[in-house]
Amino acid sequence: MLKNEIEDDHVNDIQRNAGGMILGNMIQLKIVYWGPGESGKTTNFLRLKEKFDSRRITRGYSIETNDGRTLWQDSMFLSFDASINKRNYSIIVHVVTCTGQERFLSTREYVLEGADGIMFVADSQPELLEQNKRSFRELLSFASPRRIPYIIQLNKRDIEEKVSITEFKRQLGLPSENQYADGTLVVYPVIALTGQNVAETFRDLLGQVLFNVFNFS
């Protein structure tokens, strides 16, 4: 075990004991990757793991079926330092992915528990629009009453036959504008396979979550 690594269980203990989002100068957050089966949640997770290798405070783990699909979740803790309102904070982010498979639906509620931000990973394949819509409705039913911020990725923009962003927005009932007043995009085009926009979407979601923490606490 590396010197700066903490066992996952230990971090979980801290989280349970903290009983809140801000503990002194430490902020703990949970970001959940959500979306239909095989839309690219684990691929996002793996690219983040590579990108923020030096920020990982746990090794992280993936619980998968034999064919490499997420059975339970992928999970890791990242640590960032940030200056907010002229105060230095240490931010610990628990990053998890849900399984997209319908047959494991019950595990998703467990993984979503305590989420401070949700990354919706949609699939660009035109035939998967219905799955995207169903998964997005599920997300809204969880996130809206709790006012949990979310960001929408339209993943696999590298494939040839793909739904247009305009059509995707129309189908999901999203605003037709390109971006919101705060500069975040209504839909982010992503290629998780190569890492395109993976870190950017993570950063923007983290920004929204932190904004929430400081405005609601």
Ligand X SMILES: Nc1nc2c(ncn2[C@@H]2O[C@H](COP(=O)(O)OP(=O)(O)OP(=O)(O)O)[C@@H](O)[C@H]2O)c(=O)[nH]1
Residue numbers of the site for Mg ion (CB under 5 A)?
A: 41-42, 70
Q: Pick between residue 60 and residue 100 the one whose CB is nearest to ligand X.
A: 100
Cβ atoms of 62 and 46 closer than 8 Å: no
Pick from ligand X, Mg ion, none: which does 159 bind, CB < 5 to 8 A by kind? ligand X
**What SS3 state is found at 40?**
coil
Pick from Mg ion, ligand X, none: which does 149 bind, CB < 5 to 8 A by kind? none
Q: Pick between residue 27 and residue 36 the one whose CB is nearest to Mg ion.
A: 36
Pick from ligand X, Mg ion, none: which does 75 bind, CB < 5 to 8 A by kind? none
- Residue 54 beta carbon to ligand X: minimum distance, rounded to whole angstroms: 23
- Give the C-alpha separation, 131 to 194, whole Å: 24
Q: Pick between residue 70 and residue 79 the one whose CB is nearest to Mg ion.
A: 70
Question: Measuring CA to CA, which residue among 139, 215, 212, 210 is closest to residue 172?
Answer: 139
- Residue 174 beta carbon to ligand X: minimum distance, rounded to whole angstroms: 20
Q: Pick between residue 89 and residue 138 the one whose CB is nearest to ligand X.
A: 138
Pick from ligand X, Mg ion, none: which does 59 bind, CB < 5 to 8 A by kind? none
- Residue 99 beta carbon to ligand X: minimum distance, rounded to whole angstroms: 5
Q: Pick between residue 11 and residue 119 the one whose CB is nearest to ligand X.
A: 119
- State the Cα angle at 11 between 213 and 145, rounded to 5°: 35
- Residue 55 beta carbon to ligand X: minimum distance, rounded to whole angstroms: 21
**What SS3 state is found at 81?**
strand
What letter would DSSP give residue 159? S
- Binding footprint of ligand X on the chain (CB under 6 A): 35, 37-43, 69-70, 97, 99-101, 155-156, 158-159, 191-193
Residues 6+ apart with CB under 8 A from 133: 171, 172
* Angstrom distances, CA of residue 205 to CA of 33, 163, 165, 199: 11, 24, 20, 10
Q: Which two tokens stand for residue 180?
A: 């919101």
